Amino acid sequence: MPHRQGIMVDTSRGGRDAESEQSGESRTANVVRHLEALIFDGDLQPGQFLPSEGELAAEMGVSRLTVREGVRTLEARGLLEVRRGRRPAVAHPNAAPLSGFFAASLRRDPRNLLELVEVRLALEVHATTLAAQHATRTALTSLELAFDTMRQATDEESFNQADVRFHAMLAAASGNQMISFLIEAMDEPMHESRLRSLRGHLARGRSMDDIMDEHARILAAVRERDARAAAEAMREHLVQTRMDLRAFLALPTGDGQG
């Protein structure tokens, strides 16, 4: 009989089956599995609430503290949304865990930026192929809207924002949510590098019109449903962007800067 103390009676209820509890693991791990079961196999839809910490603790025969640790774990994994005063809610699928991973990778070693750029290139090129094949009419409209916003942008920051949106809409047009999440997850961590890329772009003696042309070519090919041309246009655009970033990294000012 493993660690029991005080008046912790085991008779929490009449017929509790002990099968679902692995005694080799920690109680918190058991709580995590229990919560996962509630989320995945229970009939809880995203946004719906779990029992309160106290109820969960009573159900599982552990203290509230242990429940809290399990809840924290699943919150960090993006499966639960915890807000003070409210019961824990099943989270809508979201890219936060991915975002955290990429951000952490960059903070650990800024050189990972170039690796991330490669990942992005691979994903976006494929997303463009899929978008040309499957994009719905509304998705196309959103894409065109984002393109127009880019064209009307005046300052660097709003241009960047519109650029991010264009790429996000393109990913969304692919119809593949996993790809969308991955690309979205890279946006935040790579925000800084975008501005740098832009500076490197200018340093290479290229203009904003070049960038707009590249995007125009992508948009046109997607609109014409020419998957091969669209993918190629995106690849060329991203290769240029990669060169822009390298140009910035080679700049005298941008050398030692993390």
Residue 173 exposed, middle or buried by CB count within 10 Å (0-12, 13-18, 19+)? buried
Place of tokens 């975002």: 99
CB-wise, 47 or 93, nearer to DNA? 47
CA distance 163 to 80: 31
CB-wise, 107 or 191, nearer to a copy of itself? 107
For the record, the structure tokens of 144 come out as 């065109």
Among 3-11, 109-117, 143-151, 215-223, the segment contacting a copy of itself (CB under 8 A): 109-117
Per DSSP, the three-state class of 2 is coil
Q: Does 104 bind a copy of itself (CB under 8 A)?
A: yes
To a copy of itself, the closest distance from the beta carbon of 175 in angstroms equals 9
The C-alpha angle 120, 90, 45, rounded to 5 degrees, equals 100
- Packing angle, helices 227-250 and 208-223, rounded to 10: 160
Q: Does 26 bind a copy of itself (CB under 8 A)?
A: yes
CA distance 79 to 88: 10
Find the binding residues for a copy of itself in span 164-183 (CB under 8 A): 176-179, 182
The size of the chain, in residues, is 258
* Residue 105 binding result from a copy of itself, DNA, none, given CB thresholds of 5 to 8 Å by partner type: a copy of itself
To DNA, the closest distance from the beta carbon of 27 in angstroms equals 3
The C-alpha angle 25, 30, 32, rounded to 5 degrees, equals 125
Q: Does 77 bind a copy of itself (CB under 8 A)?
A: yes
Per DSSP, the three-state class of 106 is helix
Per DSSP, the three-state class of 99 is helix
Quick note: the x/- pattern for DNA over 77-116, rule CB under 7 A, is -----xxxxxxx----------------------------
Q: Which of 78, 192, 206, 225 binds a copy of itself (CB under 8 A)?
A: 78
Q: Which residues bind a copy of itself (CB under 8 A)?
A: 26, 28, 36, 40, 65, 68-69, 72-79, 84, 93, 97-98, 100-101, 104-105, 107-108, 112, 115-116, 118-119, 121-123, 125-127, 130, 176-179, 182
